[in-house]
Structure 1
Amino acid sequence: MYDFDIAATQWINAWSGKSAVLDAAMIWVSAIGVPLMILGVAGQWWLQVDKRHTRHVLVATGMAFLLGLAVNQIVLLFVHRMRPYDNGLTHLLISRSADFSFPSDHATASFAIALTFLLYGMRRGYIFLAAALIVTLSRVYVGTHYVSDVVGGAVTALIAVIAVRAIYREDTRIDRFITGIL
């Protein structure tokens, strides 16, 4: 499995440096993909279509996002995987990162958004899923993650989404209070 991970990572990263336009696009997506997704989620707070349900999903998304990133920080205490560029496996297009490689915070954040929307049956989840796939691909493309890092981040997101779904229930007193704000 390790050999496949390295081969897949190097295959994706091998495309970098061949097109200035593609490099710039992937660097841009890697840098602002997650913030744009967050804005896409936050901007829906004031939609009038199925307002309570939409707001519940938005709050659940934020909770899954934060829980997933918190779990990543715990994992990082125990898993000290070097970045692929530190192992001489990839060509790095962006600044070096100070933390370890596994799991990918970008993957966790973007998949937490997409998977929450999909789990709650929101069709916009497919748009967020496409964005999450592009963001995670960009992280391998720019040389900062292994493929398994982004898969690990997606798994962390899935666990967080399922946990939030089990704990934060729709139409409870606290949910009505939170979704009634503004």
Structure 2
Amino acid sequence: MYELDVAVTRAINGLAGHSAAIDYLMVWVSGIGVPVMVMAVALQWWRGSHRTHIRHVLVAAGFSFLLGLGLNQLILLFIHRARPYDNGVTDLLIERSADFSFPSDHATATFAIAAAFLLHGARRAGFAFLAAACLVTFSRIYTGTHYAGDVFGGALTGVIAALIVLAIYREGTKADLLITRIF
């Protein structure tokens, strides 16, 4: 399995270095992708005629995001996977990271948001966020900072977090109505 992970990682990272424009784009996406997605979620708070439902989805996305990153911290207590550039697997296009490689926080964060939107019925926005999540996670492999398995594991953690939130945080409950009526 490790050999497949390395092969996929090398294939994607091997695309780097052939086009300065694409390299720049991937570095930019890797650095700004998560903050842009979070901002896109936050800006929807005042959107549209179905404001209560949209706000429920936004809160669910926020909870999924936070739960996913919290789960990653628990995983990191037990799994200490070195970065691919530390093992000579990839050529790094961005600054070195001080933490371990598995799971990818970028993948967890972006897939938690996308999954929350999709699971709570906001399909159009959910698919847009899913496309953005795929681009962000691809950029993490392209820039050499993660193995393909790291982003797959992070994406899975994000989806699991969104499923947990779906099971616990229900639309129309007293807590939901209190939270979604803010502002």
Q: Where on the TM-score scale, by shorter chain, does this alignment land: which range?
A: over 0.9
Give the TM-score normalised by the residue count of structure 1: 0.99
Return the alpha-carbon distance in structure 2 between the equivalents of residues 49 and 152 of structure 1: 37
Compute the displacement of 1:114 (Å).
Answer: 0.5
Aligned pairs (5 A) from 1:121-136:
121-122=121-122, 123-136=124-137
Please list the CA deviations of residues 57-103 of structure 1 after superposition, one character each: whole Å capped at 9, or x if unmatched: 00000000000000000100110000000000000000000000000
Count of residues in correspondence between the two structures:
182
Return the alpha-carbon distance in structure 2 between the equivalents of residues 128 and 120 of structure 1: 13
Alignment partner, residue 75 of structure 2: 75
Compute the displacement of 1:48 (Å).
Answer: 2.5
Please list the CA deviations of residues 4-27 of structure 1 after superposition, one character each: whole Å capped at 9, or x if unmatched: 110000000001111100000000
Q: What code does the residue aligned with 2:64 have?
A: A
Alignment partner, residue 24 of structure 2: 24
Alignment partner, residue 119 of structure 1: 119
Alignment partner, residue 54 of structure 1: 54
Alignment partner, residue 104 of structure 1: 104
Return the alpha-carbon distance in structure 2 between the equivalents of residues 73 and 169 of structure 1: 26
1:43 aligns to 2:49 (yes or no):
no
Structure 1: gaps (5+ residues): none
Compute the displacement of 1:2 (Å).
Answer: 1.3
Return the alpha-carbon distance in structure 2 between the equivalents of residues 84 and 118 of structure 1: 32
1:91 aligns to 2:91 (yes or no):
yes
Return the alpha-carbon distance in structure 1 between the equivalents of residues 118 and 171 of structure 2: 16
**Greater than 3 Å deviation, 4+ residue runs:** none
Compute the displacement of 1:49 (Å).
Answer: 2.5
Return the alpha-carbon distance in structure 2 between the equivalents of residues 126 and 84 of structure 1: 30
Please list the CA deviations of residues 119-165 of structure 1 after superposition, one character each: whole Å capped at 9, or x if unmatched: 11212111000000000000000000000000000110111001101
Return the alpha-carbon distance in structure 2 between the equivalents of residues 12 and 158 of structure 1: 23
Percent identical: 62
Q: What code does the residue aligned with 2:145 have?
A: T
Q: What code does the residue aligned with 1:104 have?
A: S
Structure 2: gaps (5+ residues): none
Return the alpha-carbon distance in structure 2 between the equivalents of residues 119 and 106 of structure 1: 20
Compute the displacement of 1:43 (Å).
Answer: 0.5
Q: What code does the residue aligned with 1:168 have?
A: Y
Give the TM-score normalised by the residue count of structure 2: 0.98
Return the alpha-carbon distance in structure 2 between the equivalents of residues 11 and 168 of structure 1: 40
RMSD: 0.6
